[in-house]
Structure 1
């Protein structure tokens, strides 16, 4: 699975065939098919593994920074600075799968929902009334920063997204502007 995860992330899911996976990993064909019905099942398993590891990493970094929801963007900056950074494995998988009904797409989309739920919890704990809406917007900023970092090859996108996220937290709640007191 490690070899497949690395190859899929570096080269793309569609670009890597089962024969190449077997060759690089040293796993025999019979052994592969004992564990997976085919490549799609392997992709789903890898995306689930990615989700678990990525969210645990994010939680660890955010917790180390006191649970500040904005720390998620600091964590991303670390990832974006890596020379091996190739974007988000879930976004990459959704783009390659293209079919929202495919198992890989569904697992990748669930990863995004899980990250939103995590951010929502952080924001609620920090006392933000409109935490669900803000969490969804944070995810939009995270995905946009991830694609931008891939294009620009650096961590600046995380800093820009963090500043935008901060402005979301600083804004008065939508609908409360101009409201009369009294």
Structure 2
């Protein structure tokens, strides 16, 4: 690969084409959807030629999967790996998400959005979305176990489902749903974790 490359208008560009393509995909996929975004538009926004794009990605399918992997590769490590929060606090902090995106609306979860648009369960992006959702539920269950939940796997699934529901409802109604979801989560967590002094059943 050469030191410099030429973009669509034959303007010499520096290195970093892959990063520009990913940034363009993050912008366009979230603004107008995956299916409505073509490679020509992606290349134009990223200021790279299609030849350069296909040197970094075998096709749009691979690009969509890589786009998803950029969001949260370590499954909320910034939250779950914190040492200043108790396990219970971590479970509730999952719902303390800042508003972002157009009009300060929390965008629809990119994994859900991709699954809605892509109907092929064997598509690399579908597999990536599925793997992430399974990993998130597992991380919630692990934290629930640390918090002393009697059935951590069940609580993890409940919180994962509640999180996805809040994301979708926020997007559909154009209203922030995470505070309500956080209140429901607190009830689920408190019901799942025995009060101090209560002996667990063997």
After superposition, the Cα gap between the structure-2 partners of 1:105 and 1:24, relative to the gap in structure 1 and judged at 3 Å, is same
Deviation at 1:171, TM superposition (A): 2.8
Which structure has greater helix proportion? 1
Inter-partner Cα distance in structure 2 for 1:172 and 1:120: 12
Inter-partner Cα distance in structure 2 for 1:73 and 1:149: 12
Partner of 1:159: 179
Which one is further off, 16-25 or 112-121? 112-121
User: Partner of 2:121: helix, strand, or coil?
Assistant: coil
Pairing of 1:166-181 with structure 2 (within 5 A): 166-171=186-191
Q: How many residues align?
A: 170
Partner of 1:178: none
Cα distance per residue 1:117-142 (max 9 Å; x no partner): 11112111111120111100101100
Asked if 1:140 corresponds to 2:161, the answer is yes
Specify every segment of 5 or more residues in structure 1 that has no aligned partner in the other structure, as ranges.
174-182
Deviation at 1:53, TM superposition (A): 6.6
After superposition, the Cα gap between the structure-2 partners of 1:96 and 1:85, relative to the gap in structure 1 and judged at 3 Å, is same
With a CA cutoff of 8 Å and minimum separation of 6, indicate the structure with the bigger relative contact order: 1
User: Partner of 1:128: helix, strand, or coil?
Assistant: coil
27, 47, 59: which is aligned to 2:68? 47
Partner of 2:122: 101
Q: Which portions of structure 1, spanning 4 or more consecutive aligned residues, are displaced by more than 6 angstroms?
A: none
After superposition, the Cα gap between the structure-2 partners of 1:80 and 1:36, relative to the gap in structure 1 and judged at 3 Å, is closer
TM-score between both structures, scaled by the size of structure 1: 0.83
Inter-partner Cα distance in structure 2 for 1:129 and 1:144: 24
Deviation at 1:111, TM superposition (A): 0.9
Is the contact between residue 100 and residue 106 of structure 1 (CA under 8 Å) also seen in structure 2?
yes
Deviation at 1:101, TM superposition (A): 2.0
Partner of 2:92: 70
Asked if 1:24 corresponds to 2:45, the answer is yes
